[in-house]
Amino acid sequence: MKAYKFKLKPSAKLIAIFDMWLRLLCELYNAAIQERRDAYRINGVCVGKKEQSAQLPDIKKERDDLARIHSQVIQETLKRVDLAFKNFFRRVKEKKEKAGFPRFRSHCRYDSFTYPQSGFKMDQKRKKLHLSKIGSVKLHLSRPIEGVIKTCTIKREADGWYVIFAVEENERKPVVVAPEDEVGIDVGLKSFAVLSTGEPIENPQLYRQAEASLKRAQRRVSRRRKGSHRRKKAARLLAKKHQTVARQRRDFHFKEAKKLVVRFRVIKFEDLMMGNLMKNHHLAKSICDAGWSQFISIAASKAEEAGGRVIVVNPAGTSSRCSRCGQKHKMPLHIRTYRCSSCGLVIDRDHNAAINIKERKGRAVLSGRRRVAVVEEPRTCRATDPESPTITGTRA
């Protein structure tokens, strides 16, 4: 499966319908969570998706507005609730992390709905998408869709409305084998990354450049009175800025990943899950900045397309070990050049680490291309919300 995302050009009338659907579906989502909570707390029973779906006909009789929404879209909302609970129970079972109970969503955080099978029709020639029970909407078809469209998701973002198709790809294109074998890549301190060949990938420093402007926008939001129109306006602006930065970074990651995949069959990174990279504050910033894990997963997906592989290795001691003789030396962060007292090697710190990474064995990263998950992106920035979320447990 592959995801295609296009910007929609909806009329004001359509936007009103999109907004209304999201409001109603959000209400339904919250009501379904409420029902499960109550059933469990009061009667100690679990209410499942089946039981909740069975109530829909009765609910629709009482609620004309819900009845006007495509039935599969409603079903898909209940499925999201079901998924939220399944994940919750899995977390409880694993006892790995703190198992947060599925939460109510405020309207401003509920921003997508999905046609899971049918009810939509894409006309590529006319660049029009027909949505059942809504109407036709034009879109920016920036590239042709190749394959069979399986699901259709309408999503609200900071700068407008988007459609995301999950598409089953036809045949894979013939794979061109990359000329070089392996490369190790280390997070650079000065540059974005350093390859084991010694070449750096320069950092665009997008975030830090934009940081000042983000901070200004953030301050503007917090200065304005809660609930005011002007605060909402400032919050929208802030959300847009965040979106732009995220897009630029993603774009940069795609370009760099592509360059690597064309050259190397096997690409090795440090395993972020194993490392203590994040523990160091100075480093943490530059790693967050670079969105390193996003880069690894993009590289994995690109490598898979090209018939290559991405491997992550244990990061322990990659910077302290001499890449020529294996001797270990302490390497505090401020020391930029590695000087080996045993064999006399003098080499850039990150370059040395990248070579060590290249030499190690590790585990393959699967790209997750088969599971197209586009619906629930975690929000990292709370400030993008016009309001703090209000909890409404309204019953449908």
Query: Contact positions toward Zn ion, by CB under 5 A?
Result: 322, 324-325, 327, 340, 342-343, 345
Q: What are phi and psi of 370, to 5 degrees?
A: -75, -30
* Contact assessment for residue 320 and residue 331, using Cβ atoms and an 8 Å cutoff: yes
If we measure between CA atoms, which residue out of 78, 76, 77, 56 comes closest to residue 67? 56
Q: Which residues contact 282 (CB under 8 A, 6 or more apart)?
A: 333
Q: Quick one: 76 or 186, whose CB is closer to Zn ion?
A: 186
Q: Quick one: 148 or 343, whose CB is closer to Zn ion?
A: 343
Q: Quick one: 117 or 342, whose CB is closer to Zn ion?
A: 342
Q: Quick one: 245 or 322, whose CB is closer to Zn ion?
A: 322
d(CA 353, CA 200): 13
- Count CB neighbours of 377 within 10 A: 12
Minimum Å distance from CB 319 to Zn ion? 14
- Count CB neighbours of 158 within 10 A: 17
* Contact assessment for residue 157 and residue 243, using Cβ atoms and an 8 Å cutoff: yes
Minimum Å distance from CB 345 to Zn ion? 5
Minimum Å distance from CB 313 to Zn ion? 20
Q: Quick one: 262 or 345, whose CB is closer to Zn ion?
A: 345
Minimum Å distance from CB 318 to Zn ion? 14
Minimum Å distance from CB 384 to Zn ion? 49
Minimum Å distance from CB 350 to Zn ion? 17
Q: Quick one: 30 or 352, whose CB is closer to Zn ion?
A: 352
d(CA 395, CA 81): 15
Beta bridge partners of 253: none
Q: Quick one: 77 or 352, whose CB is closer to Zn ion?
A: 352
Minimum Å distance from CB 276 to Zn ion? 24
Q: Quick one: 267 or 322, whose CB is closer to Zn ion?
A: 322
Minimum Å distance from CB 324 to Zn ion? 5
Q: Quick one: 342 or 388, whose CB is closer to Zn ion?
A: 342
- Count CB neighbours of 120 within 10 A: 22
Q: Quick one: 18 or 338, whose CB is closer to Zn ion?
A: 338
Minimum Å distance from CB 336 to Zn ion? 17
Minimum Å distance from CB 327 to Zn ion? 5
